[in-house]
Structure 1
Amino acid sequence: MSGDIPVFDGHNDILLKLYRNRHDDPVDAFIQGRDSFHIDLPKARAGGLFGGLFALYSPSSDNISFDGMKDGRYQIPMPTPMDASGGRPPILAKLAILLRIERESHGAVVRCTSTRDIHAARDRGALAVVVHLEGAEAIDPDLEFLEVLYACGLRSLGPVWSRNNVFGHGVPFHFPGSPDMGPGLTDNGKRLIEACNRMKIVVDLSHITEKGFWDVARLSTAPLVATHSNAHALCPSPRNLTDRQLDAIRDTGGMVGLNFATCFLRSDGEMRSDTPVDLMVEQLDYLIERLGEDHVGLGSDFDGAAIPEAVGSSAGLPVLIDALRTRGHSDALLRKIGSENWLSLLARTID
């Protein structure tokens, strides 16, 4: 197994996992590694992962079970909307965890706010963290907290998770289903998109409804981005992108990051760890055919979803790289998929 292709990943939820396991010191857990993590410092180094978008997310208070997603046909209830008073405390707690990791790693983990920072971190062997907000519940309609988050390093933002908020509407976890499952952006959401463009913050469309997607497409002056989504044509989940959406992303010079979650890879929508890596390759090949080789990368959803056991964690990224190589993809294309396309996208948005 080879590990010669460096990887910048478009999405992970390790900060959520660290937040939920606070009986274990999160700094030691991340720096030393834990068997239960998809991403920690040792696994990242083992798999060639040098950086990525690290998500901050406000967990729902609802006692909602996602066990039904194992069966292939499901309709998970939409979580109750959350305002800033409920959404902000967990975001601050996760930020505090990240700041401690950065400080106590002594340079091994670095928050980055530009591609220059990312390149510098990679060159000295550090893990480059770009802060992402998955669902904008923590932000007030006046966008004052957006300024605070920006000062803390926020450079990527999804207006919604799969939950409605004051900025827009998310797609529920249903299967099968169309992404056209509700209204789009609110007036507050439109102001948020304009602010993100002005502040050079990536707008992530991974969880938004199709109407919301087109609202962003009409408003935004930046490339369209879905950090962790797949092709609806191969897996008809509302979380995946239709061909028309993929075409719009391509036409703006945007990006799609392949989501490793098995329920978004499989045509039957099942959440199964024995899902073959070949399905990841098929999704990537479809995205490359539709978008072009300059607009596809990885958006693993590590530590936020069940992924194929053959990959297992960030240490197993070379398994996917080798599968793509076996399919005939050149090293030049693998370097684009691994990191170059993400770095190009970020250079055109946050710099």
Structure 2
Amino acid sequence: MTTHPIFDGHNDTLLRLQMSNAPSFFTESSAGHIDLPRAQKSGLGGGFFAVFTPNENDNAGPEDHLTENGYDVPLPSPISQERALDFTNALAARLFKLESEARGQLKVVRTAEELKHCLQNDIMAAIFHIEGAEAIDTNFDALHVLYQAGLRSLGIVWSRPNAYGEGVPFRYPSSPDTGPGLTDDGKALVRECNKLGIMIDTTHLNEKGFWDVAAITEAPLVATHSNAHTISPIARNLTDNQLEAIAESNGVAGINYAVNMLREDGGLETDISLDKIVRHVAYIAEKFGVDHVALGSDFDGTSVPDSLKDVTGLPNLLERLKAHGFHDDELQKITHGNWVRVLEETWK
């Protein structure tokens, strides 16, 4: 067993495999950020494998919407439930096919005991996570079917509006207080997820929506791949008040490696050191407690620092965390222990 296996809060590897002529997930290559051989060499014990439905013909990023002192990307249009469900089924099927082809090296986990077993035995643990609830009808029929299939984590929104709430735009500088809170259906979705034991991810949700979740949920508050707004004031990051609420609920925030969410200036240049990641980890650990910070890379879904490159940079990141002063018991919490604790409290 790796001393500190990293369980990661978010990757978009399924989408990369679906949308490109990528090599097999089981073949080591330089394509993307994650494949199984590189992960095994680098101590990645698993993570939340996101199922995300992108907008059609909408690839604009911050560099296409520059302002005088930053950028402001308009929210994409809503997508239909029919299209989202079709795409969700396709990506979920890809995840289950990976499991069947992995010869015991990857498992889609549905319980905390399965997760711990995988981490202890060098089996990649994959959580079926949906980013943006567009695939789910407001009667929640699809939610129950997907739960039976293995869904254990749900992000209510991506950075666009849907039937349940509204995401924050990719905007710098900006507060995350950018729009209305959850709809009545969104509040009902939180309650239904609580009943089933599906973890609710507040990542991408605007601040009013976050506080609606906080007021309703019976589970720890979680943001799988979001950073400290005090350091990097982009709309996607969490304010101190939000981080405090996460800590008070015994929840966790996973630090995102996206360069514009790490940099103080919100910049898009990737020539930054690993200490930028460490700074966000340390800020939350020191101000709100080491029990409430983890890692949430956003691998295969964003631009990461050149100093990290891909999953093979994780051992170097651990060394930088050690050099900062984190001890072994703290590293155990940051790398995987906090995720295990929160999921034990959340899953039925």
- Note whether the superposition's TM-score is higher than 0.5: yes
For structure 2, list consecutive stretches of 5 or more residues without a partner in the other structure.
Answer: none
Q: TM-score, normalised by structure 1?
A: 0.95
What SS is found at the alignment partner of 1:30? Answer: coil
TM-aligned CA deviation for residue 64 of structure 1: 3.5
Aligned pair 1:225/2:228, yes or no? Answer: no
Asked if the contact 2:231–2:280 (Cα under 8 Å) also holds between the matched residues in 1, the reply is yes
Structure 2 equivalent of residue 268 of structure 1: 265
Root-mean-square deviation (Å): 1.5
Partner Cα distance (2:246, 2:119) in 1: 28
Q: State how 1:126-141 maps to structure 2 within 5 Å.
A: 126-141=123-138
Q: CA deviation at 1:47?
A: 1.2
SS, match of residue 15 in structure 2: helix
The alignment status of 1:195 with 2:192, answered yes or no, reads: yes
Q: What 5-or-longer segments of structure 1 have no aligned partner? A: none
Out of 46, 50, 57, the residue aligned to residue 45 of structure 2 is 50
Q: Give the whole-Å Cα distance in 1 for the aligned partners of 2:269 and 2:31.
A: 17
Q: In the alignment, residue 46 of structure 2 is paired with which amino acid?
A: G
* 1:58-207 equivalent positions in 2, closer than 5 A: 58-66=53-61, 68=63, 73-207=70-204
Contact residue 109 and residue 126 of structure 2 kept, 8 A: yes
Aligned counterpart, 1:30: 25
Q: What displacement does 1:61 show? A: 1.4
1: CA distance between counterparts of 2:289 and 2:314?
Answer: 22
Matches within 5 A, 1:278-293: 278-293=275-290
Amino-acid identity (%): 43
How many pairs are equivalent? 345
SS of 1:165's partner is: coil
- Paired residue for 2:335? 338
Aligned to 1:16: 15
2:54 counterpart letter in structure 1: P
Give the alignment's TM-score, normalised by structure 2. Answer: 0.96
- State the distance in 1 between where 2:60 and 2:10 align: 22
Aligned to 1:325: 322
Q: 2:81·2:135 contact (CA, 8 Å) conserved in 1?
A: yes
Establish whether residue 301 from structure 1 lines up as the match of residue 298 from structure 2. yes
Higher relative contact order (CA 8 A, sep 6+): 1
The residue identity in structure 1 corresponding to 2:253 is: V
Q: Which amino acid aligns with 2:247?
A: R
Q: 2:38 is aligned with what amino acid?
A: K
* Separation in structure 2 between the aligned mates of residue 307 and residue 218 of structure 1, nearest angstrom: 34
Is the 1:166–1:188 contact (alpha carbons within 8 Å) kept by the matching residues of 2? yes
- The answer on whether the counterparts of 2:132 and 2:158 sit within 8 Å (CA) in structure 1 is yes
